[in-house]
């Protein structure tokens, strides 16, 4: 009786879940096909009726980025068909606000802060976020991002509360320790010593906006959001770029997709002596839009090879001075060509480093390289310049130092750019030609050059959290912005922001941060979001080349699917 009762109970259980009916459907459907792997096909058939994968574990760990700086890797584990399975991981790129010529103590402080931030981020992922996101679907990106945003806001408020208490404690301590003799009499100011000059800017300029503080641990938010997006794409069995496009367009699959044009950095102009030019940070190549990406990259490589040849010093190398008196040394060095200085040094951006004496020098060199291999700038290839003007402002003089000892006011900078574009019309984009605070001059340069080239804000768009105000974009008048996936940025933030930029006819450029990792998700983000350009650095260094390889793979995949516009 007991055995019979169990059988009836089992039969009712399976009938309630429609197992016999679906088993019959599966067998009838598969018999005409007679698949070689029958049980594999049965497993595939029944997997359609299994529960959707859910997050069961997050793992955060400290790793190194492409320049050896610490960053965070976030790993997603899901429960899939009753088994825990590692789905994917993502490594966050790090971004530093420290300038190239910063003092050693500033750099050391930044490194300590970065290290502390990564340690905190790892702790957040392994503890709080691991518990908070458990049993959620990885495909539910907006819900996950909402929870991540609320968690981050809570951490910010806690940090503010701690700072407030510390300030109150310091103020109390100062009041109890101060003596009457140390207190300044009201109404009196400290006298200035006779003969001492006070530095005053030659012309009043808008002061620099305060640098937005980065909350210790914020990398955990961006890393987790992106890892969830990758996990969602994996369990949905679609490429990440298509998953992002579906999220942006409310699950409406795009009939065609456009690849972003790459801005390939060829030269990184150093700003230390003996180089005089300070204005140009990067000189970039942009292939024509009608050219397949693969051919465009090949052209860039051809130009790079010719640049290397042009930068080689003429004649044979001089012998080593230490071996000048040694016959053996002379014999050893005879006929041996020394590697040119430019080729010895590759920037962290993955391109050649070169010192220049004036603004025209790198442009004329690029023009010569193209002419030598039968290419014409303005037809077969275009240029973009990252001016990074925010790094050049002398706040005492109220002017930009564009060359060593040569300064220009914001208005003079506008005139200089107009002259530059008129002389070199193959320059189709200027990035950060001015500080974001010089809004009137942004208006002026856009009026003068807006029809001839893109005027793009990168430094102004470093922090996505500051960009959106209501339904408006908080940027100077410009053609578009460079967005970087850093810190607490979430995938849903990028989706919302690019939607606003599209609506206001601004172009979107997705850009690599300074401390790039080998994770190639940025490329999928750019394709899925419909970015006009992607700024990845040069065609050297593995962490940058892997992204170009991913872009080429997506081009090939879209061409095969006939969805490449």
- What's the CA gap between 476 and 442, in Å, rounded? 6
Q: Which of helix, strand or coil describes residue 318?
A: coil
Mean residue pLDDT across the chain = 86
Q: What percent of the chain has pLDDT over 90?
A: 60
> Residues of the chain with pLDDT > 70: what percent?
85
Which of 344, 358, 218 shows the shortest CA–CA distance to 275? 358
**CATH architecture, domain 243-310+340-561:** Alpha-Beta Barrel (3.20)
Distant-in-sequence, close-in-space partners of 340: CB < 8 Å, separation ≥ 6? 308, 311, 312, 313
The average pLDDT across 252-277 equals 88
What is the pLDDT confidence band of residue 467, given thresholds at 50, 70 and 90? confident
- The pLDDT of 413-421, averaged and rounded, is 97
Contact criterion met (CB below 8 Å) for 264 and 538: yes
Confidence of residue 70 (pLDDT cuts 50, 70, 90): very high
Is 337's pLDDT higher than 60? no
Q: Are strands 382-386 and 282-286 parallel, antiparallel or unpaired?
A: antiparallel
As a whole number of angstroms, the distance between CA 521 and CA 89 comes to 10
> Do 243-310+340-561 and 54-162+214-236 have the same topology in CATH?
no
In this predicted structure, the answer to whether residue 194 has a pLDDT above a threshold of 70 is no
Domain residue extents for the chain: 1-48, 54-162+214-236, 243-310+340-561
Checking if the pLDDT of 416 tops 60, the result is yes
Mean pLDDT of 268-293: 90
Rounded to an integer, the average pLDDT of 300-316 is: 86
Q: Burial, 40: exposed, middle or buried (Cβ in 10 Å; 0-12, 13-18, 19+)?
A: exposed
Instruction: For 536, list phi and psi in degrees, rounded to 5.
Output: -115, -5
- Give all strands of the β-sheet with 399-403 in edge-to-edge order: 393-394, 399-403, 406-408
Contact residues for 476 (Cβ-Cβ < 8 A; gap 6+): 434, 436, 438, 439, 442, 443, 457, 460
pLDDT for 55 beyond 50: yes
Could you read off the pLDDT of 23-47 as tens digits, one per residue? Answer: 888 899 988 989 999 999 988 888 8
Statement: residue 188 has pLDDT above 50: no
| pLDDT at residue 109 is higher than 90 | no
Q: What was the pLDDT predicted at 341?
A: 44
- The confidence band for 169, taking pLDDT boundaries of 50, 70 and 90, is confident
**Which one of 443, 474, 487, 549 is the catalytic residue?**
487
- Report which of 425, 316, 307, 322 is spatially closest to residue 377, judged by C-alpha positions: 425
**pLDDT value for 263:** 97
Q: Which fold has domain 54-162+214-236?
A: Enolase-like; domain 1 (3.30.390)
Query: If you average pLDDT over residues 358-372, what whole number do you get?
Result: 96
Q: Which residue in 389, 398, 349, 356 sits closest to 271, CA to CA? A: 356
pLDDT for 402 equals 95
Other beta carbons less than 10 A from residue 322's beta carbon:
8
pLDDT tens digits along 317-326: 444 444 444 4
How far is residue 482's CA from residue 490's CA, in Å, rounded to a whole number?
16
Q: Give all strands (DSSP E) within 397-453, no chain letters.
A: 399-403, 406-408, 427-431
CA-to-CA distance for 313 and 339, rounded, in angstroms?
A: 9
Residue 92 pLDDT > 50: yes
pLDDT (0 to 100) of residue 503: 86
pLDDT of residue 471: 60
Q: Report the pLDDT value the prediction gives residue 191, as an integer from 0 to 100.
A: 46
**Are the CB atoms for 251 and 318 separated by under 8 Å?**
no
Question: How far does Cα 516 stand from its chain's mean position?
Answer: 7
Say which residues have a Cβ less than 8 Å from residue 380's Cβ, sequence separation at least 6. Answer: 288, 299, 370
Average pLDDT on 551-555 reads 97
Nearest to 493, CA basis, from 514, 467, 517: 467
Residue 334's pLDDT is 47
Q: Which residue has the tokens 């060593």?
A: 404
Give the tens place of pLDDT for each residue, 482-534.
Answer: 999 998 999 999 999 999 888 888 899 999 888 888 999 999 999 999 999 99
DSSP state of 127: I
Residues 526-535: tens digit of each pLDDT: 999 999 999 9
**In this predicted model, what pLDDT tens digit does every residue of 72-91 receive, in sequence order?**
999 999 999 889 999 999 99
Q: How many CA atoms lie within 13 A of 127 on its CB side?
A: 7
User: Does 209 have pLDDT greater than 90?
Assistant: no
- The answer to whether residue 478 scores a pLDDT higher than 50 is yes
Mean pLDDT of 131-137: 97
| pLDDT in the model for residue 184 | 43
- Does residue 474 carry a catalytic annotation? no
What is the dihedral sign for C-alpha 103, 107, 108, 110?
A: positive
pLDDT of amino acid 498: 93
Closest CA to 544 of 67, 63, 64, 62: 67
Structure tokens at 179: 């003596």
User: Residue 274: its pLDDT value, please?
Assistant: 77
* Residues paired with 480 in a beta bridge: 456, 507
Between 109-118, 120-129, 399-408, 426-435, the lowest mean confidence (pLDDT) is in: 109-118
* Model confidence, pTM: 0.86
pLDDT number for residue 372: 97
Q: How many CB atoms lie within 10 A of CB 374?
A: 8
Task: Say if CB 533 and CB 344 are below 8 A apart.
Answer: no
How is 23-47 classified by DSSP, letter by letter? HHHHHHHHTTT--SSHHHHHHHHHH
């Amino acid at each position: 009786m007991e055995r019979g009762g169990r059988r009836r109970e089992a039969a009712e259980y399976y009938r309630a879940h429609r197992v016999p009916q679906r088993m019959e459907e599966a067998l009838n459907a598969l018999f005409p096909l007679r698949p070689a792997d029958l049980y594999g096909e049965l497993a595939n058939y029944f997997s359609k009726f299994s529960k959707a994968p859910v997050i069961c574990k997050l793992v955060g760990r400290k790793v190194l980025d492409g320049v050896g700086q610490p960053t965070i890797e976030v790993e997603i584990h899901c429960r899939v068909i009753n088994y825990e399975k590692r789905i994917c991981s993502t490594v966050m790129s790090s971004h530093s606000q420290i300038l190239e010529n910063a003092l050693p103590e500033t750099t050391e402080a930044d490194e300590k802060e970065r290290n502390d931030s990564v340690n905190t981020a790892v702790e957040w992922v392994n503890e709080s976020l691991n518990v908070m996101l458990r049993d959620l679907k990885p495909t539910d990106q907006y819900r996950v991002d909402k929870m991540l945003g609320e968690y981050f806001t809570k951490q910010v408020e806690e940090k503010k509360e701690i700072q407030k208490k510390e300030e109150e404690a310091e103020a109390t301590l100062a009041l109890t320790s101060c003596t009457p003799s140390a207190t300044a009499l009201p109404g009196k100011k400290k006298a200035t010593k006779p003969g001492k000059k006070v530095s005053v800017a030659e012309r009043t300029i808008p002061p620099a906006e305060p640098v937005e503080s980065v909350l210790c641990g914020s990398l955990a938010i961006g890393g987790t959001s992106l890892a969830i997006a990758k996990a969602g794409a994996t369990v949905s069995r679609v490429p990440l770029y298509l998953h992002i496009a579906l999220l942006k367009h409310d699950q409406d699959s795009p009939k065609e997709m456009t690849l972003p044009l790459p801005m390939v950095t060829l030269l990184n102009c150093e700003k230390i002596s003996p180089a005089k030019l300070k204005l140009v940070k990067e000189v970039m190549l942009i292939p024509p839009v009608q050219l397949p990406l693969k051919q465009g990259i090949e052209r860039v490589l051809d130009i790079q090879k010719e640049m290397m040849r042009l930068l080689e010093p003429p004649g044979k190398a001089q012998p080593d001075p230490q071996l000048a008196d040694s016959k053996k040394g002379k014999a050893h060095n005879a006929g041996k060509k020394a590697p040119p200085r430019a080729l010895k040094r590759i920037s962290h951006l993955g391109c050649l480093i070169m010192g220049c004496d004036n603004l025209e020098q790198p442009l004329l060199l690029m023009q010569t390289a193209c002419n030598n291999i039968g290419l014409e700038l303005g037809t077969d290839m275009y240029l973009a310049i990252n001016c990074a003007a925010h790094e050049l402002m002398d706040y005492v003089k109220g002017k930009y130092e564009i060359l060593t000892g040569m300064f220009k006011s914001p208005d003079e900078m506008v005139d200089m750019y107009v002259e530059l574009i008129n002389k070199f019309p193959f320059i189709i984009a200027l990035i950060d030609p001015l500080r974001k605070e010089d809004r009137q001059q942004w208006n002026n340069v856009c009026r003068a050059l807006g029809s001839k080239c893109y005027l793009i804000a990168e430094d102004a768009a470093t922090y996505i959290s500051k960009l959106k105000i209501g339904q408006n974009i908080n940027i100077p008048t410009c053609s578009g912005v460079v967005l970087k996936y850093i810190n607490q940025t979430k995938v849903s933030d990028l989706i919302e922001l690019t939607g606003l930029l599209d609506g206001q006819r601004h172009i979107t450029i997705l850009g690599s941060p300074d401390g790039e990792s080998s994770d190639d998700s940025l490329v999928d983000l750019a394709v899925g979001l419909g970015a006009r350009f992607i700024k990845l650095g040069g065609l050297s260094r593995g962490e940058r080349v892997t992204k170009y390889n991913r872009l080429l793979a997506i081009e090939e995949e879209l061409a095969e699917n006939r969805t490449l516009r």
